[in-house]
A = this chain, B = another copy of it.
Amino acid sequence: MTRFKLTLEYDGGPFVGWQRQDNGPSVQQAVEEAIEKFSGESVLVYGSGRTDAGVHALGQIAHFDLDKQTDANRVREALNFHLKPNPIAVLAAEETAADFHARFDATERHYLYRLTTRRAPPALERGRVWHVAQKLDVEKMDDAAQVLIGKHDFTTFRAAQCQAKSPVKTLSKISVSHVGDEIHLNVSAPSFLHHQVRSITGSLKMVGENKWSKADLKTALEACDRAACGIVAPPEGLYLAKVVYA
């Protein structure tokens, strides 16, 4: 038996999310079905974490075990062939240690959130970016975001249905910057709460609109109260960018 590690890119638009659910197609199911078509083996694929419906990945990591004798190149090529109807691509496949775990061994996760502030709706980037349609003060957003760095109770920025045992998380890095015509929010942490990045993005948008000050963001964080959160940004601008293993 060989354990394989996959690096996956996907467009989250057509999926109910990473995880298998009864209410529609998931990325996990599509990958598991492609593996079965290639190998004849019915396996479970473990992701580094769930992504919500409509959320994209530039570098989701997953692992699975195969009895079949094969190599990583053939796994990548065969899965890309069988995944073809789906907007999912295996960027890399590699043999990994038998005890490697995509979720439990991850030491850092990087997310990207893309916003566009132009008046016209996105035509080419539709479903890939949050269309805000008004100017935002990016420098103010970046400065305010720094109050979130470090270890905090992030209850304010956590979905009601979040299943994490503790609301305490440690944000390693956060930045908001202009990239071409867009605004990109980059945020890193060992792990995140459910809707944490989208909740942070929505609150930072209020800072960018001058509706909230940096102090207001700090007050919201310290309230440890979901009701103190600004709006929650929509899923289409969010990308699981990279997962790091020690």
Q: How many copies does the complex hold?
A: 2
Residues of B within 8 A of A152 (CB): none
Q: Which of A73-126 contact B (CB under 8 A)?
A: 76-77, 80, 84, 87-92, 118-124, 126
Q: Which residue of B lies closest to A128 (CB)?
A: B124
Q: CA separation between A58 and B122, bound complex, in Å?
A: 11
A33 interface residue per 8 A CB criterion: no
Indicate if A11 sits at the interface (CB-CB under 8 A): yes
CA–CA, A191 and B122, complex, Å? 28
Q: Of residues 121 to 162 in A, which have CB atoms within 8 Å of B's CB atoms? A: 121-124, 126, 128
Listed in ascending order, the chain A residues whose CB lies under 8 Å from chain B are 9-11, 56, 58, 76-77, 80, 84, 87-92, 118-124, 126, 128
- Given the known interface contacts A58-B124, A124-B87, A126-B87, the answer about A76 and B119 at a Cβ–Cβ threshold of 8 Å is yes
> Which listed residue (B77, B80, B120) contacts A80, Cβ 8 A?
B120
Contact A120 B9 (CB under 8 A): yes
A120 neighbours in B (Cβ, 8 Å): 9, 76, 80, 89-92
CA distance A201 to B133 in the complex (A): 36
Residues of B within 8 A of A58 (CB): 124
Chain B residues positioned under 8 Å from A128 (CB to CB):
124
| 14 additional contacts (CB under 8 A) given A87-B123, A89-B121 | A9-B123, A9-B124, A10-B123, A56-B124, A58-B124, A76-B120, A77-B119, A80-B121, A87-B124, A89-B120, A89-B122, A91-B118, A91-B120, A124-B128
